[in-house]
């Protein structure tokens, strides 16, 4: 069995959204990092693919996320500057729903609590400013100029490149089979299908594979299949160009939410849209990656009354996975039983916009054992998880 030639301070397991950011932040702090990933760099078999993710600052899920998003914003800008890549773009975001919907009322509440810049639009304003939308007369919207798009594959690639530039050793196509940690102050060990490695610290960010690699954490993470759809609008993509079309979340009175993006792939491309939740429970190793006709039809039917020109021609679709905790808040902490192990999982379908700040927090926890960021909400021992 092989083992690494050099010794490492930290091993990062999983180099997707969160793990690649952690590898970069740790390497930039001068730590000797070994990163282990079962698939290739910026692959499309986990939770961090599909070209786009919504980025926003006002946060209906809980106002406690806002300070993290403000720090994430600084780090998104730094990542773009350091890597020379477009990793995010601010084009504005619209949260549409009835006055008491989570998407509208919850977002407004967090904006008030944190003094975030926004506008409130009535149905007539929505139609005038954003003519692709056909809201009901009772619908209202929260508009945030500083919302936009994070680009998942470019982000993961940027973090991996920068991690390598700071000396990190990254192994792809290498699956971690198990890990163990000695008593407090002791080392941690990882066994893979290629070898065995030891380090002072371990960061585990396994995405949808948390139920396997973090089964001892006492947190229930359930995996949900989610489909992203790209449609070419009737009459072309011009009204859906990013300089005139925001990202959006649209909540129905029954709580169903869809979210979507402008067209990012030029005149022949399409605009992406998806249901936010209500996916099928799945296993990451047997995920159904085929897209079924009835799913495409259900999405087109849902869109027709709301964004009538969007479901013109179906272009493509792709499956992705959410890794949900029961309360849909993240798990981000030192392992309760092994202080030398830091864990990041259960991002519950809304983690990508936090990727750079999660990387910073993981580096804080792995090097200092603590962080100044407010992460009490993400404690694995909180009630109901």
Ligand X SMILES: Cc1cc2nc3c(=O)[nH]c(=O)nc-3n(C[C@H](O)[C@H](O)[C@H](O)COP(=O)(O)OP(=O)(O)OC[C@H]3O[C@@H](n4cnc5c(N)ncnc54)[C@H](O)[C@@H]3O)c2cc1C
Q: Which residues bind ligand X (CB under 6 A)?
A: 13-19, 36-39, 46-48, 50, 53-54, 175-176, 205-209, 213, 226, 228, 274, 320-322, 347, 349-353
Residues 32 and 169: their CA atoms lie apart, in Å, by 8
3-state secondary structure 317-360: EEEEEEEECCCCCCEEEECCCCCCEEEEECCCCCCHHHHHHHHH
Report the residue number, 34 or 310, with the smaller CB distance to ligand X: 34
- Buried-state track 151-161, b at ≥16 Cβ within 10 A, e below 16: bbbbbbbbbbb
Other C-beta atoms lying within 10 Å of the C-beta of residue 121: 20
Residues 10 and 4: their CA atoms lie apart, in Å, by 13
Report the residue number, 125 or 172, with the smaller CB distance to ligand X: 172
Report the residue number, 46 or 311, with the smaller CB distance to ligand X: 46
Report the residue number, 14 or 380, with the smaller CB distance to ligand X: 14
Say if CB 140 and CB 125 are below 8 A apart: no
Residues 361 and 201: their CA atoms lie apart, in Å, by 14
Minimum separation from the CB atom of position 133 to ligand X (A): 18
Q: Beginning with the edge strand found earlier in the chain, give each strand of the sheet holding 53-55 in spatial order.
A: 53-55, 148-150, 88-90
Report CA torsion sign: 283, 286, 289, 295: negative
Residues 197 and 188: their CA atoms lie apart, in Å, by 8
Report the residue number, 35 or 233, with the smaller CB distance to ligand X: 35
Residues 55 and 35: their CA atoms lie apart, in Å, by 26
Say if CB 258 and CB 276 are below 8 A apart: yes
Minimum separation from the CB atom of position 137 to ligand X (A): 28
Minimum separation from the CB atom of position 206 to ligand X (A): 4
Report the residue number, 131 or 216, with the smaller CB distance to ligand X: 216
Report the residue number, 192 or 340, with the smaller CB distance to ligand X: 192
Report the residue number, 185 or 302, with the smaller CB distance to ligand X: 302
| Residue number of the CB atom closest to ligand X | 16
Pair of tokens at residue 175: 């699956």
Residues 99 and 118: their CA atoms lie apart, in Å, by 16
DSSP H or E segment with residue 110: helix 107-114
Minimum separation from the CB atom of position 252 to ligand X (A): 18
Say if CB 310 and CB 271 are below 8 A apart: yes
Minimum separation from the CB atom of position 371 to ligand X (A): 18
Minimum separation from the CB atom of position 236 to ligand X (A): 25
Report the residue number, 67 or 131, with the smaller CB distance to ligand X: 67
Minimum separation from the CB atom of position 42 to ligand X (A): 9
163 burial (CB, 10 Å; 0-12 / 13-18 / 19+) is: buried
Minimum separation from the CB atom of position 38 to ligand X (A): 4
- Buried-state track 359-378, b at ≥16 Cβ within 10 A, e below 16: bbbbbbbbbeeebebebeeb
Minimum separation from the CB atom of position 40 to ligand X (A): 9
- At 316, is the secondary structure helix, strand, or coil? strand
Minimum separation from the CB atom of position 296 to ligand X (A): 15
Report the residue number, 53 or 338, with the smaller CB distance to ligand X: 53
């Amino acid at each position: 069995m092989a083992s690494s030639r050099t010794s490492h301070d930290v091993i990062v397991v999983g180099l997707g959204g969160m793990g690649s950011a952690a590898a970069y932040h740790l390497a930039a702090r001068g730590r000797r990092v070994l990163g282990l990933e079962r698939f290739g760099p910026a692959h499309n078999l986990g939770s961090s693919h599909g070209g786009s993710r919504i980025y926003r600052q006002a946060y209906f899920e809980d106002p406690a996320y806002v300070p993290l998003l403000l720090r994430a914003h600084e780090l998104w800008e730094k990542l773009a500057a350091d890597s020379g890549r477009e990793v995010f773009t601010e084009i504005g975001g619209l949260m549409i729903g009835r006055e008491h919907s989570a998407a509208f009322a919850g977002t407004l509440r967090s904006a008030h609590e944190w003094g975030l810049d926004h506008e409130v639009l009535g149905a007539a304003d929505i139609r005038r400013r954003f003519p692709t939308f056909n809201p009901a007369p009772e619908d209202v919207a929260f508009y945030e100029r500083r919302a936009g798009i994070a680009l998942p594959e470019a982000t993961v690639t940027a973090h991996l490149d920068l991690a390598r530039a700071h000396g990190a050793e990254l192994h792809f196509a290498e699956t971690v089979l198990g890990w163990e940690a000695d008593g407090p102050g002791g080392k941690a060990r990882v066994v893979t299908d290629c070898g065995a490695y030891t380090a002072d610290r371990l960061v585990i960010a396994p995405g949808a594979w948390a139920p396997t690699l973090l089964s001892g954490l006492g947190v229930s993470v359930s995996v949900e299949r989610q489909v992203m759809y790209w449609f070419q609008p009737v009459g072309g993509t011009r009204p859906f160009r990013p300089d005139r079309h925001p990202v959006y979340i649209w909540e129905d009175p029954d709580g169903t939410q869809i979210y979507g993006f402008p067209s990012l792939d030029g005149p022949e491309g399409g605009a992406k849209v998806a249901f936010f939740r209500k996916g099928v429970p799945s296993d990451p190793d047997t995920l159904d990656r085929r897209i079924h006709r009835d799913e495409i039809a259900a999405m087109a039917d849902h869109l027709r009354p709301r964004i009538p020109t969007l479901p013109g021609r179906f272009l493509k679709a792709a499956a992705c996975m959410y890794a949900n905790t029961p309360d849909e808040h993240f798990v981000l902490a030192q392992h309760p039983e092994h202080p030398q192990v830091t864990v990041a999982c259960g991002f519950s379908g809304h983690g990508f916009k936090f990727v750079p700040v999660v990387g910073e927090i993981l580096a804080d926890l792995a090097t200092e054992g603590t962080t100044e960021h407010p992460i009490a909400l993400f404690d694995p021992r909180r009630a109901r998880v």
